Homo-oligomer: A and B are copies of this chain.
Amino acid sequence: MHRLTVELADRSYPIFIGQGLLGRSDLLVPYITGKQVCVVTDDTVAPLYLERLRHTLDGYKVDHVVLPTGEAYKNWATLQQIFDALLARRHDRGTTLIALGGGVIGDMTGFAAACYQRGVDFIQIPTTLLSQVDSSVGGKTGINHPAGKNMIGAFYQPKAVLIDTQSLGTLPDREISAGLAEIIKYGLIRDIAFLDWLELNMPALRALEPGAITEAIARSCAIKAEVVAVDEREGGLRAILNLGHTFGHAIEAHQGYGQWLHGEAVGAGMVMALEMSRHLGWLSDSDCQRGVAIVESAGLPTRPPTDMTSEDFIRLMAVDKKVLDGQLRLVLLRQLGEATVTADFTAAALDATLRKEYS
């Protein structure tokens, strides 16, 4: 088992990574202060892991809420189901929410914990590769608004994160690829050595070889934790974690949430960021192609949807949270392993990227 700590002063918390952790009550008990627990999960994950977790929580007063699966339900109406359940079962300020599921469940449960009675404890048990390497670290919680993704939310840190790599065994290949998108992102923005490692280990990762997958998750979480420790509320550095996300969010919004997986949209979005960095002369053709090849080797799309125009992108990116005073800012690459958040790019480079002039 790996253990790492996200360092955020009095909001610091541990991440445990290993096989079979869902059965380890000794890892959970120190982070539950009251007697009440409410497990929030979805109708895909519940049949697989809910009973096992309930068994691990023997001795607590455990309630659970099973939500419909998918990004399309990451909205207020679904969040309200959590509040309704907590109030109906008289959960008080001493309760602990446990998010058992992917990123949508983690984001909604975290936001519910942030808002319920103005804040209660929560623990994350992410069950998808994407959520294990992304939402486990950093405390971003929230829901979507029809006008934009994650527009309503809070920065709110969990008390602990439990990553059981066995839960990846039930994931479709497409979801593994989606998780690999975020893993590749960490290499691209900050760690060229990790990128080298990923090129060598991609087949092992796609086959879920335990040693490789644990290593990839631990390195990803460590890179994210390092960035978040410097900039918890995304005043500056933290925005580099959004490589590919401004383009990716536009793709998701255009296709309708839930059609492209988030990681797939980020995969295509990272390729757009690589290509735009090349158009700006920051990346060589070969470095750009190397980046694109890694994305492709993970089984991810490397092109945006054919039916999306430049105008679609411009319109949908205008509501990005990185827009400041009307100025679009993008995460681009100065070189492989070094990202920057900038508004300092030519309109021509953006235009060529959106018109899909790729190498």
Contacts and interface: CB of A to CB of B under 8 A. Distances in A.
Given A76-B80, A154-B154, A321 B145 contact: no
Interface string A276-300: 0000000000000000000000000
A118 B138 CA distance: 13
Contact of A325 (B83, B88, B92): B92
Contact of A83 (B34, B88, B152, B318): B152
B116 A151 contact: yes
A292 to B, nearest CB: 31
Interface in A189-243: 233-234
Contacts of A142: 115, 118
B118 A154 contact: yes
A148 interface: yes
Given A92-B324, A119-B233, A324-B94, A87 B147 contact: yes
Given A119-B233, A151-B116, A34 B325 contact: yes
Interface residues of A, number: 40
A159 to B, nearest CB: 15
Given A35-B325, A321-B92, A83 B151 contact: yes
A247 to B, nearest CB: 18
30 contacts: A34-B324, A34-B325, A76-B76, A83-B145, A83-B151, A83-B152, A84-B147, A87-B145, A87-B148, A90-B323, A92-B321, A92-B324, A94-B324, A114-B154, A115-B115, A115-B142, A115-B153, A115-B154, A116-B151, A116-B152, A117-B151, A117-B153, A117-B321, A118-B142, A118-B150, A118-B153, A118-B233, A119-B154, A119-B155, A119-B233
Contacts of A35: 325
Interface of A: 34-36, 76, 80, 83-84, 87-88, 90, 92-94, 114-119, 140-142, 145, 147-148, 150-155, 233-234, 318-319, 321, 323-326
B80 A321 contact: no
A63 to B, nearest CB: 14
A155 B76 CA distance: 20
